[in-house]
Chain A
Amino acid sequence: MTDRLTLAVVTAGLSEDSTTTRLGEAIAKAASGVVEQAGQHLDIKVISLRDLAHGLTDMMITHVASPAVQDAIDTVLNADGLVAASPTYKASYSGLFKQFFDVIDESALENLPTVIAATGGSPRHSLVLDTAMRPLLSYLKALVLPLGIYAASEDWGHADLQRRIDRVGASLGTMLLAGSPGGASGSFDADAARPGLRREVKDEFSNVPDFASLLASVGS
């Protein structure tokens, strides 16, 4: 059977032709190649945080999500995989990047296969992946892949960058297939693995404890 998989690309790139967005999209495209080779389809949904900057700030202040911000949150919530890409600012991800993950529910990324990617002006910041992005996404319980990509300005002039992108894309694509009902080349029963691998999107009203059990847990 075929199943449509969805990959969300969250990019905090700011300029019109942003290398951060370009990097995120390139990883998605590489993953998509792997998924399609297995006879499945990958929908790529790019979330540009630049367009949501005002909405995210408003939400910080009021807790009310604008329709565009809610759409973005829902897209990530329902995705099968995530590429999270940020420019490096002052030795870390940008404030805008953090803002998006600040307004997302604690459990929204649980077990979500995730690739981290960052860009920067100098190769000396390459540890931003492991000192800033990985801890944040690990806190959110995302399944952060061991391979990530840091691309400095000079990397855009080397074919090596594409090789790294392809390598990361391949590992993400394989993860996505492993979690999909179609299975990864039948090497194991993906359907059986699915409940563990794929997150369940939680409905907060579906599991409200019966009041008697709430009462039983306190004094009377």
Chain B
Amino acid sequence: MDVFATGQHHNPPFVAPANPPILMAHVAAQTKNIQLSTATTLITTTDPVRIAEDYSYVQHLADGRVDLTMGRGNTGPVYPWFGKDIRQGIPLAVENYQLLYRLWHEENVDFSGRFRTPLQGFTATPRPLDDVAPFVWHGSIRSPEIPEQAAFYGDGFFHNNIFWNKEHTERMVDFYRQRYEYYGHGSYDQAIVGLGGQVFIRKNSQDAKREFRPYFDNAPVYGHGPSMEDFTSQTPLTVGSPQEVIERTLSFRDYAGDYQRQLFLMDHAGLPLKTVLEQLDLLGEEVFPVLRKEFDALRPAHVPEAPTHESLVARHKAGKDPIPGGDPDSQAAKDRAKQAEAAQRDHENSK
């Protein structure tokens, strides 16, 4: 297993931490190799100053094994609980992330915005490990502004890919890839894509279906709704043998292209701890080795693997950090120059 990601929640039935770095630090202290991430960090209702400080801190504690995924949240009342307005979800995500980005990339930040108190000459501490901020994924199910944001910064895009039909995931990923190329961070197929997934595995397919059905039928999110068979055909949920899970997961590549991260929703629907641990064993022993081999064999050489702290440090040292909005050679920069020229001409003409 390469990655563990925790959610951030402020309400039952979720038991995820309100501040993920607490759990990440705990796991980091007990592990050596696994990458620690979030799914997701609430960029809308968490103060970006605290995100900058807490995730930098845990990045040091974990020797760089930290990245994070930005999300806007799935629970309406969280906004008012933290003094925010859900109708401002997108502007909050835009302003807060821009501030977070600056806090990680600039030592002294002057800031004034719509959503938090201004800052004058503020320095977020600790500074990111090796002066390289944790890698950021931006997650969204259906708002195209978020893949646009991810592409602008040259960050990753994550689609949870579980509660939606694949056609929708496909469009979001396609849009992100187009915009990533437009902003000049790499070609269409080099954009950094992560997907979610949801599986229940037993050696024998029928055993998996029989055992998971009562949990599915009563699950907090989709219980008492569609049949497990309908939900399986309409969303990426897979209930079956390791081979079925492998085949289904490989099929994600057909609509998302070569992608860099696959997460699975594992601890949910009231599954007992023992069952969840068995699921992790089955994933680790039977599914991941095959998936890793197959995906690696299919991925062309010019398509990067998921970023790690080491790869980001190397990129930083090589002076190849992505420039928000694109470097001067990007189509985006050329279009901006053209627009500025046209505006200048209009200005001259109106004199």
Q: Which A residues form the contact surface with B (CB < 8 A)? A: 57-58, 60-67, 204-205, 208-212, 214-215, 217-220
Not counting A62-B163, A220-B113, a sample of 7 additional A-B residue pairs whose C-beta atoms are within 8 angstroms of each other reads A61-B222, A61-B223, A62-B231, A211-B149, A217-B94, A219-B113, A220-B111
Interface positions, chain B 224-274, Cβ under 8 Å from A, are 224-226, 230-231, 234-235
B218 within 8 A of A: no
Question: Given A63-B163, A211-B152, A218 and B225 touching (CB < 8 A)?
Answer: no
Query: Which residues in A have their C-beta under 8 angstroms from that of B142?
Result: 204
Q: Which B residues form the contact surface with A (CB < 8 A)? A: 90-91, 94-95, 98-99, 102, 111-115, 142, 144-145, 148-149, 151-152, 163-165, 171, 175, 221-226, 230-231, 234-235, 325, 336
Query: Which residues in A have their C-beta under 8 angstroms from that of B165?
Result: 64-65
Question: Given A217-B91, A218-B98, A218-B113, A208 and B144 touching (CB < 8 A)?
Answer: yes
Q: Once the chains bind, are A64 and B164 in contact (CB under 8 Å)? A: yes
What are 27 of the A-B contact pairs (CB < 8 Å)? Answer: A57-B225, A60-B225, A61-B222, A61-B225, A61-B226, A62-B221, A62-B226, A63-B164, A64-B163, A64-B235, A66-B226, A66-B234, A205-B144, A205-B175, A208-B148, A209-B145, A209-B148, A211-B145, A211-B151, A214-B90, A217-B91, A218-B91, A218-B94, A219-B95, A219-B98, A220-B95, A220-B111
Cα(A60)–Cα(B175), bound, Å? 27
Quick one: closest B residue to A55, CB to CB?
B226
Q: Is the interface of A mostly helix, strand, loop or mixed?
A: loop
Q: Once the chains bind, are B234 and A64 in contact (CB under 8 Å)? A: yes
Q: Once the chains bind, are B225 and A58 in contact (CB under 8 Å)? A: yes
Question: Given A64-B226, A217-B91, A219-B113, A212 and B149 touching (CB < 8 A)?
Answer: no
CB distance from B3 to the nearest CB of A (A): 26
Cα(A118)–Cα(B91), bound, Å? 43
Query: Which residues in A have their C-beta under 8 angstroms from that of B164?
Result: 63-64
Best-buried of A57, A64, A204 by chain B (most CB within 10 Å): A64
Question: Given A61-B222, A62-B222, A214 and B149 touching (CB < 8 A)?
Answer: yes
Query: Which residues in A have their C-beta under 8 angstroms from that of B225?
Result: 57-58, 60-62
Cα(A204)–Cα(B143), bound, Å? 8
Cα(A177)–Cα(B330), bound, Å? 48
Which of B111, B145, B234 is within 8 Å of A208, CB to CB? Answer: B145
Question: Given A63-B164, A64-B165, A219-B113, A212 and B98 touching (CB < 8 A)?
Answer: no
Cα(A217)–Cα(B91), bound, Å? 8
